[in-house]
Structure 1
Amino acid sequence: MKLVWSPEMATKAFMDTVKSCDIYQGSSVTELISAMAAGWNAKLIVETWCHGDVTTTSVGLAVASTHTCGRHVCIVPDQESGTEYATAMAKYGMSPEVIVGEPEKVVNELDVIDFLVVDSRKHEFDRILKAATFGHRGAVLVCKNASSMAVSGFRLRSLFDDGGSRRIVRSVFLPVGNGLDIAHVAAVESGSGSGKVKNNRWIKRVDRQSGEEFLIRK
């Protein structure tokens, strides 16, 4: 079983997020991320947050989790951040699960992450992504505030396409808000409990209409 896209779920989450955030003109990072998480039917949605960050993206992820009947987890570095986050989300009538700890260690202990959101402004974001453990359905990774990374030439693909055990099937940079770097990590082998992708033979195919590249495991 792999992540399967559902346009209906994405649309419902998008509209509910718009209502929750009282935003009615145009789209934003919040609505887009919410729609993606719901559209991929993510069962474990994980994000990182710390003191002073905005919670609009969190609202979108919370909305998505209600549509997928999934678990929404927010990782914070300290108790102060956890209290601030919980208070801010309570204003929207939402109460995601909050875990206090070092993000890099927490994501490694959480199994079967389907949807992971990090902030590129935080210096440890790349270590968090590499430490995350994914299930047999694969996962979607989202890096917010990625415009500066685009300028420097950084892409999420560079974290995984190094001959290791995990591969990115497709990735894209979207100039939305301060930039989103998004990647779909390939599903693990059936029966593997490691959360890593085994090396296999991959064949590249290009969609002539959209121009998208796809890696197909043979």
Structure 2
Amino acid sequence: MKLVWSPEIAAKALVDTVKSCEIFQGSSVAELISAMAAGWNAKLIVETWCRGDVTTTSIGLAVACIHTNGRHVCIVPDEDSKSEYTAAMERAGMSPEVVVGAPEEAVKGLVMIDFLVVDARKNFGRIVKEAKFGIRGAVLVCKYASVKPAADVGLRGLFDGGSRRIVRSVFLPVGKGLDVAHVAAGEGGSGSDKGKKSRWIRRVDRRSGEEFLFRK
């Protein structure tokens, strides 16, 4: 079983997120992420958040969950962050589940993640390595990717040598930059690849112009 894209649900989530975030400036990231989460029919959406960050993305993910009948979990580092986050979300009419703790530890308790949103500035590597993705595969979104040089290469490096692998990835010049990756289905997608010959994939970093080769 694999993630299947539904343009109809994505469009509905996009419209609803636009309505929910209309009082916020720069909500294009929230709208895009919401449409992606809803379009992939994500049942378990997990994100990380800390004090001072915007909540528009969270609002978008909450909207997506309404359309997918899913579960939205936000991981925050401490009780102060939880209070600030909960208050902001309640003002927007949303009440997602909040887990308090170090993100790389808290994520271990969440199984079958379909959609994971992390912050490129906040040691996202350890969080991704500990994440338990669903058997349908998962979508990984890294915010503020422009702040982290060659983030696409970094994401792929997190999966090298393990049982999981990235099927495809793309950098989107939205907001501060988004790196989006599709993680293979079924225990990292490695089971069905046994016996297949490896091949080289050429990718060009859109920001630096550098060329990279990956063995798949």
Per the TM superposition, whether the score is higher than 0.5 is yes
Do the aligned partners of residues 25 and 149 (structure 1) sit closer, same or farther apart at CA in structure 2, a change above 3 Å counting? closer
RMSD: 2.5
Q: Which string of whole-angstrom CA distances, capped at 9 and with x for unpartnered residues, describes residues 74-113 of structure 1?
A: 0011111011100000011100000011111121221100
Counterpart of 1:18 in structure 2 is 18
Does the Cα contact within 8 Å between 1:155 and 1:181 map onto a contact in 2?
Answer: no
How far off its partner does 1:23 sit?
6.2
Alignment of 1:55-134 (within 5 A): 55-122=55-122, 124-134=123-133
Identity %: 69
How far off its partner does 1:150 sit?
3.8
Does the Cα contact within 8 Å between 1:17 and 1:31 map onto a contact in 2?
Answer: yes
SS of residue paired to 2:74: strand
Alpha-carbon distance in structure 1 between the residues aligned to 2:135 and 2:180 = 19
How far off its partner does 1:180 sit?
0.3
Alpha-carbon distance in structure 1 between the residues aligned to 2:69 and 2:190 = 26
SS of residue paired to 1:156: helix
2:17 is matched by which residue type in structure 1? T
How far off its partner does 1:148 sit?
2.4
Q: Structure 1-normalised TM-score?
A: 0.84
Do the aligned partners of residues 39 and 91 (structure 1) sit closer, same or farther apart at CA in structure 2, a change above 3 Å counting? same
Does the Cα contact within 8 Å between 1:156 and 1:182 map onto a contact in 2?
Answer: no
Does the Cα contact within 8 Å between 1:46 and 1:74 map onto a contact in 2?
Answer: yes
Unaligned runs of 5+ in 2: 202-215
How far off its partner does 1:149 sit?
2.2
Q: Structure 2-normalised TM-score?
A: 0.85
Unaligned runs of 5+ in 1: 190-194, 207-216
Alpha-carbon distance in structure 2 between the residues aligned to 1:66 and 1:152 = 31
Q: Which string of whole-angstrom CA distances, capped at 9 and with x for unpartnered residues, describes residues 21-66 of structure 1?
A: 1169997111000000000000000000111111010000000000
Alpha-carbon distance in structure 2 between the residues aligned to 1:22 and 1:63 = 14
SS of residue paired to 2:158: helix
1:145 is matched by which residue type in structure 2? Y
Do the aligned partners of residues 166 and 24 (structure 1) sit closer, same or farther apart at CA in structure 2, a change above 3 Å counting? same
Alpha-carbon distance in structure 1 between the residues aligned to 2:45 and 2:16 = 17
Do the aligned partners of residues 74 and 152 (structure 1) sit closer, same or farther apart at CA in structure 2, a change above 3 Å counting? closer
The reply on whether 1:169 has 2:164 as its aligned counterpart is no
